Structure 1
Amino acid sequence: MNKRLLCISLLIISCIIIFSQCVGKRSKEEEDLRGRQFAGSAACISCHKNIYDSYVTTGHYKTSSPASRASVKGSFVSPHNVFSYSNGTKVIMEARDSGLFQVALSDSTLEELHRFDISIGSGRKAQTFLSWQNGKYFQLPLSYFISAHSWANSPGFPPSYPKFDRMIPGTCFGCHSSAVGIKNVSMEGLQLSEEFEKNQLVYGIDCERCHGPAAEHVAFHKDHPQEKNAMHITKIGALKNQQKLDMCALCHSGLGTPQRSAFDFKPGDNLSDYFFPDFTRPEKTAEMDVHGKQYQLFTASKCFIKSEEMNCSSCHNPHSNERDQLQAFSQRCMNCHKTEDHTFCKMTALPAAMLSKNCIDCHMPALASRSITMLTNGQTSPTPDSMRTHLIAIYREETRKFMATLKQ
């Protein structure tokens, strides 16, 4: 009897141990990559479903994703999946049962084969792709140029041969994801060496990237559903104007020299605490590239300088996809530029009602980037990507073109 009781006791203890290990494992798997203080965007749905459903359509949310046939815009069907280099090498985009690959061939001989692991870019203008190998991420030599409907040489890559060894540091993930799993960081000489966990990312810019850790907020409001005042979360509206600007400038002010990880930034932090001061000659606005320097261009605009409270959200609703909704943006210009205040557009050749539908093409035209250019198959010179400048100003040539279009 004692022997039987002992066996039963051991069985119960074993079950308890196994169960606790399973629960522990599940908890670890379910825990946000950033730690227990983060709830994950899915936790926002129960209270903020409409905002969440709208936000997942935005470029911020889609700025990175696992590479798949659904997320990669480019073709994997011949002849549209082939890119030829001047040295005779061809790179073919192949969809295999085991995944998507860029395959380099020289005289039909396999030279290199690398998997699409991560897609970077929302897919509106262009996408580039990362491949994981031995703890490192490498940018693949071919990106996809949406406006040309074509595979293209990745920006800054050599046009004569496919380059597969451009390592991507954690700082790049700082603006194209909400977290990345880093296994180890060390110094190799004067270079920082990072070892990444494969595909361990919080993809896109998620809710907590801008609103801060929300686990305590979620737990409180689940226990107190009657409480309508947002507790244990940063209230963006209560921040000072410069703090609001700094939140956007973290990723929209170009490549500074970081002194802290962008992932550590929380709403209300000062941008100056995350980048070392730039003691080089200040750039003139004419020298700033439209890609990546939105903060500097915007804050150099007379609209911003003359306003005490203007910030990025004065024009942008970060929760909505407002791409190409020029009339909606123009109506926000009307908040300050009114006919009765004599601050409206001075172009009297057309009715005010017509002009008020599109301030953007004249005062924030799409301009060619000098830093983001793409060489499509068969081209001898790269094509620049274009972005709307955030220097709000008078562009006489662009205005002339716009007026000519309206008069037609």
Structure 2
Amino acid sequence: MKTETHYGNFIGSSSCIDCHQKEYDNWEGSHHDLAMKIADSSTVLGDFNDAEFIHKGITTRFFKKGKDYMVNTEGPDGEYHDYKVDYTFGVEPLQQYLVKFPKGQYQVLLTAWDSNKDKWFALQEELDIRHNEWMHWSRGAMRWNNMCADCHSTNLQKNFDPETEIYNTKYSEINVSCEACHGPASEHVNYYKNGEQSSDPPSLYMETDMSSKEVVDKCARCHSRRSQLTDYFDYQGHFVDHYDPELLVYPTYERDGQIKDEDYVYGSFVQSKMYHSGVSCTDCHDPHTTKTRKTGNDLCLSCHEKSYDEPSHHFHEEGTDASLCVNCHMTGKIYMGNDFRRDHSFRIPRPDQTVKYGTPNACNSCHEDKSAEWASQVIVDQYGEERAEHFSDYLIPGQLGDHSALKKLISDPDFPAIVRATAIRQFVNTPLSPQDLELLQSQRKDSSALVRNEVVRALTNFSNPELGTYINNLLNDTVRLVRMNAARYFTLQNKTAQNEEAFQKAKNEYLDYLNMNSDFPSGQHQLGTYYEATGEIQKALNAYKKAIEIDDHYNFSRMNLALLFYKQGKVAEAEKLYLKVIEQEPQFAESYYMLGLLYNETNNTEKAMEYLSKACGLETPLMRACYNYALILQQNGQHLESVSVLEKALKSFPMDENLLYVKLLGEIKSGHNNAAVNTIEKLLQIAPQNSRYQDISRQLKQGNISPVRN
């Protein structure tokens, strides 16, 4: 087990008490202290007196056997078994329980104890989870070793062996102790205990004189939704040397960046004006008690003017919940069944965006009996017509297909880095012009590692030989995440890097990341794509199959496996896999699209058209499918049918230039010139300098365009 780092050894929180008694006392009993404990009479909160809880037909019984806390419930084989509870996990508003399994695994029960209401409840109340699914408590999604442990214990090392699939997970202290945040403290303690203080004291990983952004980055290690890059956090480097944070992509986040899925604060906070004004986590939260430094509006008034706490600003009765700053600027959601968490993007309510795009807003979260139109008008009445510019004004239409809105976000460095990185990821979902590629390349030296990383990821989708020159220098980037994806670019593109030494070093970091995450279906999937790129097809097949074995619903791998089978001439096997995806995920448009292409390429035109049509008729259609289906319809002379398909698609992607252009062609060819005039106007809104659009607009208005009949 690794105990020595740049800062020395881990020596335990008891070593801190002599000099930091107050901080220790504040920490003791905090959520960090109680993050994980041995299950005994002093830590277990749940009712284990032969209590039963029934959910979706599964009965879970909690009882005691001597001093042991026991549970009887459905296991991974679908049968009922007795399990001993070894550890508690958390304390308020819920407590979870850990059970030991073979191969060093610890599994977290999906039945938890509500410590506020003193009752058992289901963490996934709406889901009917079968025993062979990834989400079942006995399987990968609820495995402590890879899903929870890194943030609930100190000096955590997962120690997963991909060959034997055995975990030898270790930690220095069971909970989030002093050294979990401050780093190993042996050199720091020895300096003061030995009395030889002629030189400056050794530094700690987290100290009191850090900049606000450094504080946020270091808290982000656990307070962010992210994937892990390294097998061991060595308390060196930047946050993104060890973790890859989720971007503001729907449906993880709302299309405007508000919380939707479980997002863990960081991704929200770095969007905010608070963050960009130098506010950090510890300005509002005591890091030792984990509580806010003040309660109610007093916390906000620590920095903001008193006038913000008056009815002239909030227009609600004083002293009520409606007058609390957080209820307008930090709306929240309930996660894990009963855990209410607030959005830390600190945004101004925008019911006008709700009216236009359907995004949520703070006003209607309270005024549920009123419409978004009503709320929007109230804002206008109280604050006027104008709204301050906010990145969401561009991010929402950008995520709905407005290319120009994404370009605005990408090119303006005043927008938050996580927003610009998100815009780049969305930008490459449609065909790019040479000018678009130049815009991406111009961001290669951006000060944000998130932006640089997304540039590399984006350019990996293009085979332009000149792009390698831009990415080659990023093999020596100061941040591991960027270096890894630069190596991934050269690997997946099968190109030779100019700097072979830097490439091999970055490639090894990338391979370490892939192997470290091989206990996830996503990790096996990425191994599969790596093996495909390096020509190791059998290994790729095995990796995709392993991903599906880990999670039978991991259909990204099933889709890639189907395509590999098709390339090998195994059409029937590929067809079977696509149909399985459709069975499991009937709203997943990509599977219909790929099956339609398969039928098209095997000359089964009738079925090809059937499945392409289905890909376009779903609740969330696939843009590429609608684009291609409309083109095929037009090739067959079915211009009105193509326009109908595109109109449905444009409800989901109202500003997509490619869809609008094909719709324009369909309208012109069917003689619907009045409709074509409206469409060309929308295209000119998106690309006002496009000379072709200008010519078509002029001809339409002059009546010089005639329908083309096939």
TM-score (normalizing by structure 2)? 0.42
Judge conservation of contact 2:257–2:268 (CA < 8 Å) in 1. Answer: no
Q: Which has the higher helix share?
A: 2
Question: Which residue of 80, 83, 87 corresponds with 1:118?
Answer: 87
Quote how far apart the aligned CAs of 1:348 are.
Answer: 5.8
5+ long unaligned stretches in structure 2? 350-361, 369-710
Determine the C-alpha separation between the residues in 2 that align with 1:151 and 1:227. Answer: 58
Contact kept? 2:259, 2:268, Cα under 8 Å: yes
Alpha-carbon distance in structure 2 between the residues aligned to 1:387 and 1:90: 29
- Quick one: which of 230, 235, 238 aligns to 1:270? 238
Q: Which runs of structure 2 are paired with 1:322-401 in the superposition (5 Å)?
A: 322=291, 326-327=295-296, 330-339=297-306, 346-347=313-314, 358-369=324-335, 372-373=336-337, 385-393=339-347, 394=349, 395-397=362-364
Of 175, 183, 203, 1:204 maps to 175
Change (3 A) 1:50 1:238: closer
Tell me which amino acid in the other structure corresponds to 2:138: D
Structure 2 counterpart SS, 1:93:
strand
Equivalent position SS for 1:264: coil
Query: Structure 1 residue 174 and structure 2 residue 142: aligned?
Result: no
What secondary structure does 1:257 align onto? strand
In 2: Cα distance, 1:400 partner to 1:164 partner = 37
Tell me which residue corresponds to 2:34: 62
SS of equivalent to 1:174: helix
- SS of 1:252's equivalent in the other structure is coil
Is 1:39 matched up with 2:39? no
Q: Which runs of 5+ in 1 are unaligned?
A: 1-31, 374-383, 402-408
CA distance in 1, matches of 2:172, 2:189: 22
Task: Evaluate the alpha carbon distance shift between residue 230 and residue 398 of structure 1 in structure 2; reply closer, same or farther with a 3 A threshold.
Answer: farther
Cα distance, 1:86–1:400 mapped onto 2, change above 3 Å: closer
TM alignment of 1:255-294, pairs within 5 A:
256-261=226-231, 263-266=233-236, 269-276=237-244, 281=249, 283=253, 284-285=255-256, 288-289=259-260, 291-294=262-265
Within-5 A mapping of 1:18-97:
34-35=3-4, 37-78=9-50, 81-87=51-57, 89-97=58-66
How do 1:186-225 residues align onto structure 2 when only pairs under 5 Å count? 186-188=161-163, 193-196=165-168, 202-224=173-195
Tell whether the 8 Å contact from 2:248 to 2:267 is kept in structure 1 after alignment.
no
**Aligned equivalents of 1:237 and 1:44: distance in 2?**
16
Q: Which amino acid aligns with 2:343?
A: T
Comparing 96-105 with 222-231, which one deviates more in the overlay?
222-231
**Larger fraction in strand:** 1
SS at match of 1:202: coil
Alignment of 1:88-167 (within 5 A): 89-104=58-73, 111-121=80-90, 123-134=91-102, 135-155=104-124, 159=128, 163=136, 165-167=138-140
Which stretch has the larger CA shift, 200-209 or 212-221?
A: 200-209
**Corresponding residue SS for 1:251:** coil
Which range moves more in the overlay, 223-232 or 94-103? 223-232
Letter in 1 for 2:52: V
1 or 2 for the larger relative contact order (CA 8 Å, sep ≥6)?
1
> How far apart, CA to CA, are the structure 1 residues paired with 2:294 and 2:302?
17
Counterpart-to-counterpart distance in 2, 1:292 and 1:317 = 21
1:358, distance to aligned residue in structure 2 (A): 4.5
1:141–1:331 Cα change, 3 Å: closer
Provide the C-alpha distance between the structure 2 equivalents of 1:288 and 1:155, rounded to a whole number of angstroms: 18
Answer yes or no: is the 8 Å Cα contact 1:326–1:357 preserved in 2.
Answer: no
- Residues 231/180 of structure 1: CA separation in 2 closer, same or farther (3 Å cut): closer
Provide the rounded CA distance (Å) in 2 between the counterparts of 1:299 and 1:74. Answer: 37
Structure 1 moving runs of 4+ over 6 Å = 225-229, 353-357
Match among 223, 236, 247 for residue 218 of structure 2:
247
Output one character per residue of 1:94-152: Cα deviation in whole Å (capped at 9) or x when no partner.
1111511111389xxx930111112111x111122211233221222422123442222
Paired with 2:157 and 2:59, the residues of 1 have a C-alpha distance of 33
Q: Is the 8 A contact 1:297 1:391 kept in 2?
A: yes
Would the aligned equivalents of 2:185 and 2:204 in 1 still touch at CA under 8 Å? Answer: yes
Aligned counterparts of 1:43 and 1:71: Cα–Cα separation in 2? 23
What does residue range 229-244 of structure 1 map to in structure 2 within 5 Å? 231-234=202-205, 236-244=207-215
Of the three residues 126, 148, 160, the one matched with 1:185 is 160
Change (3 A) 1:354 1:148: closer
Q: Judge conservation of contact 2:191–2:197 (CA < 8 Å) in 1.
A: no
User: After the TM superposition, which of the residue ranges 224-233 and 318-327 deviates more from structure 2?
Assistant: 224-233
How far 1:220 moved relative to its partner?
1.3
* Distance in 2 between residues matched to 1:219 and 1:324, nearest whole Å: 32
Measure the CA separation in 1 of the matches of 2:115 and 2:343: 20
Letter in 1 for 2:344: H
Mapped partners of 1:228, 1:155: distance in 2: 55
Structure 2 contact 99–106 (Cα < 8 Å) conserved: yes
Q: Structure 2: how far apart are the matches of 1:349 and 1:396?
A: 12
Q: Which residue of 2 aligns with 1:378?
A: none
Cα separation, 1, equivalents of 2:54 and 2:322: 47
After superposition, the C-alpha distances for 1:374-400 in whole angstroms (9 at most, x for unaligned) are xxxxxxxxxx54222223234224676
SS state of the match for residue 15, structure 2?
A: helix
Rate the CA distance shift 1:157–1:181 in 2: closer, same or farther, 3 A.
farther
What's the offset of the Cα at 1:335? 3.1
8 Å Cα contact 1:67-1:119 kept in structure 2: yes
Equivalent position amino acid for 1:210 in 2 = C
Q: What is the letter of the counterpart of residue 389 of structure 1?
A: D
Please tell me the root mean square deviation across aligned C-alpha atoms, in Å.
3.7
Counterpart CA distance in 2 for 1:143 and 1:241 is 36
* Alpha-carbon distance in structure 2 between the residues aligned to 1:39 and 1:55: 17
Alpha-carbon distance in structure 1 between the residues aligned to 2:333 and 2:245: 28
**Structure 1, residues 267-289: CA drift from partner, whole Å, max 9, x if none?**
xx311111247689574345533
Distance 2:244 2:290 in 1: 33
- Counterpart CA distance in 2 for 1:281 and 1:321 is 29
Query: Does the 8 A contact of 1:41 with 1:208 survive in 2?
Result: yes
The letter of the residue matching 1:336 is: C
Tell whether the 8 Å contact from 1:337 to 1:343 is kept in structure 2 after alignment.
Answer: yes
Aligned-partner Cα distance in 1 for 2:294–2:199:
33
Contact kept, 8 Å, 1:174 with 1:261, in 2: the verdict is no
The 3 A distance-change label for structure 1 pair 317 and 227 is: farther
Distance apart, 1:350 and its partner CA: 5.1
Counterparts of 1:350 and 1:85, CA distance in 2: 42
Kept in 2, the 8 Å contact 1:174–1:262? The answer is no
Is 1:291–1:387's contact at 8 Å kept on the other side of the alignment?
no
TM-score between both structures, scaled by the size of structure 1? 0.70
